[in-house]
Amino acid sequence: MNTGTAYPEIVKTADGIPLKVSLARAQRKSKIRGVLLVLPLFAFILLTFFVPIFDMLFRSIENQLVPEVMQNTSKLLVDWNDQSGKLPPEEVFAAAKLDFEKGHAERTILRVGRRLNYEVPGFASLFRKTARRAKDFEPPYQDAFIERDKRWGEIDTWRLIKRESGAFTISYYLAAMDLAYAPDGNVGMRSEKQRIYLKLFWRTLVLSALITFLCLILAYPIAHLLSTLPLRTSNLLMIMVLLPFWTSLLVRTTSWIALLQQEGVINDLLVGLGLLSDDGRLAMIHNATGTIIAMTHILLPFMVLPLYSIMKTIPPSYMRAAKNLGATPAVAFIRVYFPNTVSGIGAGCILVFIISIGYYITPALVGGTDGTLISNFIAYHMSISLNWGLAAALGVILLVIVLMLYYLYDRVVGIDKMKFA
Amino acid sequence: MSLPAYTSTGERIWFYAYRIFCGLVFFFLIAPIIVIIPLSFNAVPFFSFTEEMLRFDPAGYSLRWYNDFFTNPNWQGAVKNSIIIAFFSTILATFLGTVAALGLSRSDMPFKSTIMGLLISPMIVPLIISAAGMYFFYSKVGLQGTFPGVILAHTALGTPFVVITVTATLSGFDQVLVRSAASLGANPTTTFFRIIVPLILPGVISGALFAFITSFDEVVVVLFVGSYEQRTIPWQMFSGIREQISPTILAVATMLVLVSIALLTVLELLRRRAERLRGMTPQ
């Protein structure tokens, strides 16, 4: 650069403002305009989507109910040493009497009982039983409580109340990972019979991996066929991929029920052909098989489309060149074609895997008991057992897994490359 | 693609095996969708082909499940609700999504990829998690079990599709056109309506179609955020399959397949139009 040249004057616009200032102002204005365009949607998504998700995060740890309803008791329990081997002092029992009485009148104490029942079964009935008579308790209250139910004389009962009387709790996460507090307050694995969720997470991952693998095996050849056929034929065949993609997933699940059930089309066909006896009909639905078949069908287009879009970009001359140089078709495929499709395989596999680990509808309808996934348990705790804290904790764990996978997806393909048919 | 004369027997076998495998996969993809169409004309409440149907005996076929669909208030209510909810959430999602896409595709937009990531996250988060979060929160603010609640939820789920399709259209948009419009004396509003809108319209329409189908097809969120009053077609199908399974569901499914064929055709036509237009744009 020639440093000798100096500009004698600052360049100005027509109205005398230096060009630099004027330009900066115009650019700032344009930037603000852009932000203002994005703002409405951003605010909308924040309110209708992110706030609910954060609410769920909060719900998975919050524990306001216990300290609120048992406010007198929980305040006094702070000073009680639960390792002392002694029951809490008489004031605590007196405070508990007050809380029970008030909670009974306001009908809130039974909710505390149900909440603590998640930790140790039997607390709901203990609370119900105690609440009904609490107003008639006479001092000394300790004896009155123990007379009503001898569990009030056990240190573990009070330990649990003390532990769960803070504003926050990790017990939902412990439950979601099959952990629990032992009566002495240490965290340990639940007993063999009570372990559900680790197995369930594992099953969800295994089934999702299997479905992803099946999708890959089925999708790879047809994506290759679609990308090599002349456009007219491949467009026609593409409809066979896109029609299922665009058809409601409930329609597809319904048709798999019609096909797979005991009295369904496939069993009837096999019996009609004499391959099966009438009482030997295959159980292909309401079990893991049903989930695998139906979900592979539903997710197959999600694998075909990314593979197809990658394969479309591989020039046919690569394979011809490889063969020309003496490679057998198999070697040419393994050394030349396959490595070129790896990014498509990555994209398709992560996408299918992510969709399948959060799948709810199909497993709920065709999964029976051993084909249900983690999402079905989230739904169960939301609408049937009403243990919303546990549902939220399971949801947060699933969300973390999905976000990690998306991070991977973003690394492999880039989220902004996401496209639809 | 026919085989050249010099192919060896091994290659020939491999070639046909590959073709047959592909044929089977295509059959696997399409057969389940085709099979429900004849089943929906079943004269008896079974989910399988009866002997009369296989003999093509007219007595084995009937329109009773279609008749049931058109007379049953449960289904008619579901159709009405589906259309109301999908209509309003499509309008909202298309408006919000298009406006945001216009902002996002400006070259001077700060934190573009982060904002994009946040805006499309409703598409990424598994539906059961969105449904759980919305269920807890919407019941707290009194939106659970109301039409506005379901419409807002579906709008949130639909906007990512609009944002993505419209930004994709805008990325192929030639900014020179805007400058030439301005230099020819058009003010920004005129430029927007006369130049930008006609060019991005195919993207907006296909985004709107995606938003519509997202809402029309969606079942997880509506199961939790909605109630019987807001039952949509998928809601009704889901509870139908769970409770009293009747072939009316097959009749509904057949009609939905026809809807998706129509939709696929519209999208294909839009795609062709966009391709044609792109061919016309000077590069």
Distance CA A300, CA A245 (A): 8
What's the sign of the alpha-carbon dihedral A87, A88, A94, A100? negative
Task: Count how many residues are written for chain B.
Answer: 283
User: CB contact, 8 Å: B108 with chain A?
Assistant: yes
Taking one residue from A and the other from B, the number of pairs with CB-CB distance under 8 angstroms is: 265
User: CB contact, 8 Å: A279 with chain B?
Assistant: no
Distance CA A48, CA B133 (A): 10
Distance CA A198, CA B74 (A): 40
Q: What is the pTM of this model?
A: 0.87
User: What would the mean pLDDT of A290-313 be, rounded to a whole number?
Assistant: 93
The overall average pLDDT reported for chain A is 87
* Residues B93 and B159: beta-carbon distance below 8 Å: yes
Which of B15, B47, B218 to mutate to test binding with chain A, by most A CBs within 10 Å of its CB? B47
User: CB contact, 8 Å: A271 with chain B?
Assistant: no
Topology of domain B76-245, CATH: MetI-like fold (1.10.3720)
Distance CA A91, CA A72 (A): 10
Of chain A, the percentage scoring pLDDT greater than 90 comes to 33
Residue A3 pLDDT class (50, 70, 90 cuts): low
Q: Among residues B150, B148, B131, B265, which one has the least CA distance to residue B209?
A: B265
What's the sign of the alpha-carbon dihedral A41, A43, A48, A52? positive
Contact assignment for B122 to A242 by CB distance below 8 Å = no
Range with the poorest average pLDDT among A4-8, A244-248, A266-270:
A4-8
The pLDDT of residue B124 = 87
Distance CA A163, CA A175 (A): 15
User: CB contact, 8 Å: B122 with chain A?
Assistant: yes
Contact assignment for A35 to B242 by CB distance below 8 Å = no
Residue B47 pLDDT class (50, 70, 90 cuts): confident
* Residues A351 and A215: beta-carbon distance below 8 Å: no
Residue A4 pLDDT class (50, 70, 90 cuts): low
Q: How many other CB atoms are found less than 10 A from the CB of residue A405?
A: 16
| CA separation, residue A152 to residues A71, A121, A148, B231 (Å) | 18, 15, 8, 48
Q: Which residue in the set A41, A48, A421 is minimally distant from B100, CB to CB?
A: A41
CA distance A298 to chain B (A): 9
Q: Among residues A92, A140, A100, which one has the least CA distance to residue A84?
A: A92
CB contact set of A151 (below 8 Å; sequence gap of 6+): A122, A126, A157
Structure tokens at A81: 């040493």
ipTM summary value:
0.87
Residues in chain B closer than 8 A to A30 (CB atoms):
106, 108
Residue B19 has pLDDT above 80, yes or no: yes
User: CB contact, 8 Å: A241 with chain B?
Assistant: yes
The pLDDT of residue A7 = 60
Alpha helix segments (H runs only) across A185-248: 197-228, 231-246
DSSP secondary structure, B214-276, as one string:
HHHH--HHHHHH--GGG--HHHHHHHHHHSS--THHHHHHHHHHHHHHHHHHHHHHHHHHHHH
User: What would the mean pLDDT of A186-193 be, rounded to a whole number?
Assistant: 82
User: What would the mean pLDDT of B250-254 be, rounded to a whole number?
Assistant: 91
Contact assignment for A31 to B110 by CB distance below 8 Å = yes
Residue A15 pLDDT class (50, 70, 90 cuts): confident
